Structure 1
Amino acid sequence: MRYGTGAEVLAGLDLRLAPGGFYFLTGASGAGKTSLLKLLYLAQRPTRGRLRLFGEDVGEAPRESLPAFRRRIGVVFQDFRLVRHLSAFDNVALPLRIAGHDDREIEGPVREMLAWVGLADRASAKPPTLSGGEQQRVAIARAVIARPELLVADEPTGNVDAAMADRLIHLFEALNRLGTTVVVATHDLSLIGAVKGARMMRLEDGRLSDPTGELRHPPSRQPDGAPA
């Protein structure tokens, strides 16, 4: 993957994410973690090579087909990307409304999720009135509310204290036990030991090291049936 005509920021990656797996993605700043996540949630396309998602080749898929794939993916962005004029409740409810659920179905799950992330009393607050940590928690609640098949999180605990970070990782674990494949990019290596059976992927200068045996390098054809 490259941006414009610049040098490749990711090169020779070959990985298979097992359905229902839990993965931590680590590496120094500038190693390419965010770029790899962008490929996984279809914000960017690979400039060469092959990308399969949910068992289908999406690297060359028509642009109009991508929204259907994206609805199966939950994303926690580093910069939150909340809708500023909507309340915390309505931001979290967005994926359910896009999926066609009516307000009677939405009310209970959204309030339960806001309570889980410690924001039950901030449901009517809009993003500009929330702290960075509160916005992060709204973004996480929005990403997981629809039980996506793939959850991609970019530094999801970077703006919260250790106790809340632990709570959020346990939320990801609970979602993972329901079958969601989880990929968490983080600088916090202490999180990795908190999830039993989690795998670690490390990026160095745009290339993956292989501490787990799940990742191979240099590239070969990716197996069918993988989430990504």
Structure 2
Amino acid sequence: MIERARDIVTFDNVGLRYGTDREVLSDVSFTLHPGSFYFLTGASGAGKTSLLKLLYLAQRPSRGVIRLFGTDTVTLPRKRLPAFRRRLGVVFQDFRLVPHLSAYDNVALPLRVSGVREGDIAKPVNDMLEWVGLSHRREARPATLSGGERQRVAIARAVIGRPDMLLADEPTGNVDPEMALKLLRLFEALNRLGTTVVVATHDVHLLRKVSGSMIMRLDKGRLSDPTGALRYPPRRENAG
């Protein structure tokens, strides 16, 4: 049974290296609170994607402690990892759509894996495809979609199951500014329903779009704001 926790994620002095190379992440410590919205930013090569890999359990750290939903995932047996991953929604930079499935079936996949009845799948999937502007492409396979369309399918798939935490790696990198804002509003709506959202981006303009969001900055593998206390825009004090 997965333990319910006050903090959804805790990193304690985490380091990550690939093979014998130098660490790509060093002494990373932070806490993510349930229902909060975070931007993870930094220059290209700062370690954003590596940090996300640790968060969605695709990589184990070289050192330190990571707790997800109150459980130490560093020592967690591999057979227990799928139960944790089902509580996560992930938008990858390379999309990772199933090539032989239609856009509709790619979006429906998390619901089917979770055991949702087929009769209860059509409406949420069609609604989600309409939201991301792809109703007319529901039967298209990934190879026939543009990069921006594949990105939108990947995002729809990640959020369809209302995950406890959504992790998005440069989710607006392949869409125009109007669609980028629409997708960000989708993340906000999911966040208001209680999902913790982490968006990795190098686009500083996005940081101004979500009021009260928290900003974590990576610089050469280290968090420059490890407390996650930097908030944009700052909250205003009551005038009364």
Q: Where does structure 1 differ by over 2 angstroms across 4 or more consecutive aligned residues?
A: 211-215
TM-score, length-normalised on structure 2? 0.88
Question: Pick from 26, 50, 54: which aligns with 1:39?
Answer: 54
| Alignment pair present for 1:118 and 2:152 | no
The answer for the alignment partner of 2:7 in structure 1 is none
Q: Which residue of 2 aligns with 1:91?
A: 106
Cα RMSD (Å) of the superposition? Answer: 1.1
TM-score, scaled to structure 1: 0.92
Alignment correspondent of 2:180: 165
Is 1:184 equivalent to 2:199 in the alignment? Answer: yes
Separation (CA, whole Å) in 2 of partners of 1:4 and 1:147: 36
| 1:126-205 equivalences in 2 (<5 Å) | 126-205=141-220
Aligned counterparts of 2:152 and 2:228: Cα–Cα separation in 1: 33
Deviations 1:114-155 (CA, angstroms, capped at 9, x unpaired):
000000110000000000000000000000000000100000
1:103 lines up with 2:115 in the alignment: no
Contact kept in structure 2, 1:113 and 1:141, CA below 8 Å: yes
The CA distance in 1 between the partners of 2:42 and 2:186, in whole Å, is: 23
Cα displacement (A) at 1:37: 0.3
Q: For residues 65-91 of structure 1, what are the alpha-carbon distances to aligned partners after superposition, in whole Å with 9 as ceiling and x for unaligned?
A: 001000000000000000000000000
Alpha carbons of 1:199 and 1:77: their partners in 2 closer, same or farther (altered >3 Å)? Answer: same
Of the structure 1 ranges 203-212 and 5-14, higher mean CA displacement relative to structure 2 is found in: 203-212
How far 1:103 moved relative to its partner?
A: 1.3
Structure 1 residues 86-116: Cα deviation after superposition (integer angstroms, max 9, x where no partner): 0000000000000001211100000000000
Say whether the 8 Å CA contact 2:215–2:229 is kept in structure 1: no
* CA drift at 1:214: 3.3
Partners of 1:200 and 1:212 within 8 A in 2: no
3-state SS of the aligned residue for 1:5? coil
User: Hey, what's the Cα distance between the residues in 2 that align with 1:57 and 1:212?
Assistant: 20
Question: Which structure has greater strand proportion?
Answer: 2
| Aligned-pair identity (%) | 70
User: For residue 60 of structure 1, what is the amino acid of its counterpart?
Assistant: T
- 2:142 counterpart letter in structure 1: P
Provide the secondary structure at the position in 1 that maps to 2:129.
Answer: helix
Which structure's relative contact order is higher, taking Cα pairs within 8 Å and 6+ residues apart?
Answer: 1
The DSSP-based 3-state class of the residue aligned with 1:86 is: coil
For the 8 Å contact 2:66–2:74, the answer to whether it is kept is yes
2: distance between equivalents of 1:93 and 1:142?
7
**Number of corresponding residues:** 215
Note the C-alpha offset of 1:211: 8.0
